[in-house]
A = this chain, B = another copy of it.
Amino acid sequence: MGSVICVGLGPGDPDLMSVRSWRLIQSARQVAHFRKAGRPGQARRIVEGMLAEGVVEHPMEYPVTTELDFASDEYDAMLSQFYDHWSARLLTLAADCDVIVLCEGDPFFYGSFMHLYNRLRGRVNVQVVPGITGMSGCWTATGAPITWGDDVMTVLMGTLPEADLVTHMRAADALVVMKTGRNLAKIRAALAEVGRLEQAWIVEGGTMPGQTVGRLVDYGQQDCPYFSIVLVHGNGRRPGGME
């Protein structure tokens, strides 16, 4: 009986995955990964050239991504069936040998694998290898520390209502906003309302070829890729004052 091992791939640059993930991927005999139907998938792209000959690949295609409102019953039912199906399938596949599940970023930080994890735990040995989060890759790309001293850092999803974004943005020192995409106008409005739009950065494709880093006020598009991250750096206590 094998295990189901979810490996964090980190923010996108293959060299930024952990040594443990690297080893597990290179020796894998079965690999599973999420992707949008008909697309190669970002997780699979990160491990390009790393897989052993003869590896069996299992793409897990989301039945829906942004075509339906994520709060609808239909979306919920479709995703739930999808995770039910793939947890059963991974259980069967693991009977032969370990299945390595590829997961961008850090699996337990807003990762899709957690829905399989909760269905599999107790039924098969499940392991998770942490990864560098996408946000770490993005703030490193800005060339400035995200948090200092006693800064409070809050991570927000762009899918939240604007009023909630405003409340949290007002309270925290450092901000990370994920799930941006079509929510960018709302995120901009919320940042403007709390007077922090001028300090905000947007990073697209952090640590990957084609990465772009810039001030949000200079960003010309109304929307952005869904995985772009908006950041506001903290500005806390530091020896020697403002350095």
Contacts and interface: CB of A to CB of B under 8 A. Distances in A.
B150 A152 contact: no
A143 B126 CA distance: 10
Size bracket, chain A contacts: 35 or more
A239 interface: yes
A34 interface: no
A243 interface: yes
A119 interface: yes
B152 A168 contact: yes
Interface in A67-114: 70-71, 75-80, 82-84, 106-111, 114
A147 B109 contact: yes
Interface string A1-32: 00000001011011111111011000000000
Interface string A159-189: 1100010011001100000010000000000
A213 interface: no
A128 interface: yes
A180 to B, nearest CB: 13
A152 B171 CA distance: 12
Nearest to A157: B150
A70 B13 CA distance: 37
A10 B18 contact: yes
A110 B19 contact: no
Contacts of A159: 150
A16 B18 contact: yes
Interface of A: 8, 10-11, 13-20, 22-23, 70-71, 75-80, 82-84, 106-111, 114-115, 117-119, 121, 128-133, 136-137, 139-140, 143-157, 159-160, 164, 167-168, 171-172, 179, 207, 237-240, 243
